[in-house]
Amino acid sequence: MGDARGPGAGSELAGLIARHGARDYADLHRWSVERPAQFWREVWDDLGVVGDPGDVNVEGDGFLGTRFFPRARLNIVDTLLAGDPASTAVVGIDEDGRRRELTVTQLREEAAAVAAALRAAGVEAGDRVAAWTPNTIEAAVFALGALSMGAVVSTASPDFGPVGVVDRFGQVEPTVLMLASGYAYGGRPIDCLDRLPEILAGLPTVATAVVVGDDAAGHVTWEDWLAPHRGRALEPVPLPFAHPGFILFSSGTTGRPKCIVHSAAGVLLKVLSEQAFHLDIGPGDRAMYFTTCGWMMWNWLLHGLGRRATIVLYDGNPGYPTLDRLFAIAASEQLTFLGLSAKFIDTVRKSGMRPAELHDLTGVRTIASTGSPLSPAGYDFVREAVSSSAHLASISGGTDICGCFVAGVPTQPVHRGEIQGPVLGLDVTVLADDGTEAGVGEVGELVCRTPFPSVPLGFVGDDDGSRLRSAYFERFPGVWAHGDFAERTASGGFVIHGRSDATLNANGVRIGTAEIYRIVEGLEEIEEALAVGQAWDGDSRVVLFVTTAPGAKLDDDLVARIRQALRAQASPRHVPALIVAAPELPRTRSNKLAELAVADTVNGRAVRDTSALANASSLEWFANWATENS
């Protein structure tokens, strides 16, 4: 049984269904993928995108040949800051409870000062700037100011250590780096300035480092940087639709993290369609998604400004000082939209806490969940202990598209354990290994068969596009294969079963194994390492298998040093749940680690191909380990 939403739910979506005379959501979705030029133009017009769309909506064909609005001229900041000048645009709350807010007018003024300061620093349209920062108002201001003058923005959270930051921003080659002098997490102050010299040494392109805080360690403070430019008018520069706006990071299984270049306008159109039609965010709403600046959901939330909503930024530990912190903010800020990770929902569920008994959450109209699959028990918990009336919208997509493939459908019933349906404009389905469409209830690869505006422009350094094609289109030629196991349900929904490739998913952030290996194998006691994700307790956990050097042993001391090295040099998300000594790691005949084979084995799946393995018998040990540890 599902539970339907109350009268008036999903007004934007309901209006679209009625306007097109569609029988139901499935009928509307079919139209949206069959008529992409008409659908995406309606998104532009109906959702108030500011700019000139031009006289052509879509041209070309195929994922790499399709161009959306090829003659358009716009700047997304005009849309993001088009709300009532006196309305509250953004609220920032830190772990210590300090709260600030800016109106639309004030946000425009601050963004204008940033744009002028960037120009004074020599930044031009197309140049890249970066922010290594907590989730603060300054981070949003910096991004908006940069976008307004055509700069490309890339962000990372401050829990990334020097190696993780340089691995990312070193490829981006920013000229300006914005950062905070420090932040608090879990009640503990954390200094960022002590890591700054090592980071700047690895980023030779940075000419200006701007520090938010009183101590700038010899660099310019945020206030001093902006002071000469306050009072300037915000004058966003009109740009082509395909002008780059964001660089996000999605790690593969080899090499440094992939730097994914996104069109600012493409992300705007994609995210606005999701927020309006699938998550019921609109003018006057108050929306918060718990995220850091290192996750695509930060970019996603920023676009809530384009829905004329107030966005609420929280920086800190979501469970500090007590596990109900986010629910307390939802009540005090009168949120209508609350976004959480599935892992956090599960943590609260296991604690026995019942948030609705502690806080008035009746104003929350939509609760979204992403980062990993939301279990049936998670659905039950939200309905029983958080809100019986809110639309529970599990969503799934990726950094690769800065958006969703499947999401909530507020005009339809919610079925526990399922994501309600494919998003509008995307022909999402599940394919079997042979490329045929999998039947209902059959697990296969989640794919998309139609192009959409937020298909990446490319990867940094991938001049011939070979890495982009390899990442998404080699599995099924001409079809986007996202790397998720999924199944379609009888109700028209989807169940996501986790990653189908060797990329790790650590609480919603994709982590490349190469990032882990480089650090762990730097310890003299470790000979080799191999990391995989294992389905565990309704979610997933990262398991790191290592072989030790002759005479060395994986004891408690070495395990602690591995964890500390990963936490300090990469980030807390890189620290595995388990570290296990293995007698031998399987390798291909070309001497590459066989991560997929181990991932299949520890998850109880048939190994897809052992013909390339030089030591296939080594998988027997992993199979026995999985039997004892699953």
Please, which residues bridge with residue 330 across strands?
Answer: none
Q: CA 475, CA 473: separation in Å to the nearest integer?
A: 6
Domain assignment present for 526? yes
Identify whether 552 is part of a domain: yes
**Do residues 125 and 149 make contact, with C-beta atoms less than 8 angstroms apart?**
yes
Tokens of 48: 């108030």
Supply 553's token pair.
């042993």
3-class secondary-structure state, position 58 = strand
Structure tokens at 617: 């018998």
What pLDDT does 510 receive? 67
pLDDT score at 507: 64
Kindly report the length of the chain: 630
φ/ψ (deg, to 5) at 32: -65, -30
Domain of residue 600, residue span? 512-628
Q: In which residue are the tokens 């094609």 written?
A: 469
pLDDT value of position 589: 60
568 in any annotated domain: yes
Kindly calculate the radius of gyration of the chain based on its CA atoms and give it in whole angstroms.
Answer: 24
Q: What local confidence, expressed as pLDDT, does residue 3 receive?
A: 41
Tokens 């360690």 belong to residue: 217
Q: Which amino acid is at 399?
A: T
DSSP 239: B
3-state secondary structure of 28: helix
- For residue 92, what are its two tokens? 């920032």
Give the residue among 454, 427, 116 at the shortest CA–CA distance from 261: 454
Q: How far is Cα 113 from Cα 117, in angstroms, rounded to an integer?
A: 6
Q: Cα–Cα distance between 382 and 388 in angstroms, integer?
A: 8
* Backbone torsions φ then ψ of 415, nearest 5 degrees: -110, 130
Confirm whether 39 is domain-assigned. no
Using DSSP bridges, classify how beta strands 366-370 and 337-341 pair: parallel, antiparallel or unpaired: parallel
pLDDT at 590: 53
Place of tokens 């979610």: 539
347 touches 325 (CB < 8 A): no
- Contact, 346 vs 539, CB < 8 A? yes
- The residues, ordered by sequence, that sit 6+ positions from 232 with a Cβ below 8 Å of its Cβ are 112, 113, 115, 116
The secondary structure of 370-438 as a DSSP string is ESSPPPHHHHHHIIIII-SSSEEEE-EEETTTTEEEEE--TTS-B-TT-B-EEPTT--EEEE-TTSSBP
Q: Which residues of the chain have pLDDT under 70?
A: 1-9, 251-255, 501-503, 506-510, 512, 589-591, 608-612
Tell me what pLDDT residue 312 has.
98
CA distance 436 to 476: 10
Q: Looking at the domain assignment, is residue 561 inside a domain?
A: yes
Predicted local confidence at residue 433, as pLDDT: 87
Q: What is the CATH classification number for the domain harbouring 605?
A: 3.30.300.30
On whether residue 23 sits in a domain, the answer given is no
Q: What does the alpha-carbon distance between residue 7 and residue 101 come to, in Å, rounded to a whole number?
A: 32
Distance of CA 234 to the CA centre of its chain: 29
pTM of the model: 0.88
- The number of CA neighbours under 13 Å toward the Cβ of 566 is 25
CA end-to-end span of the chain: 30
- Total domains in the chain come to 1
Angle between helices 556-569 and 513-520 in degrees, nearest 10: 120
Q: Indicate the SS3 state at residue 224.
A: helix
Question: Residue 82 to residues 89, 303, 420: CA-CA distances in angstroms?
Answer: 10, 12, 31
- In 3D space, the residue among 63, 44, 71 whose CA is nearest the CA of residue 306 turns out to be 44
Q: Which residues have CB under 8 Å from 418's CB, separation 6+?
A: 394, 489, 491, 493, 494, 495
For residue 4, being part of any structural domain is answered with no
290 lies in some domain: no
Sign of the four-CA dihedral 399, 405, 410, 412: negative
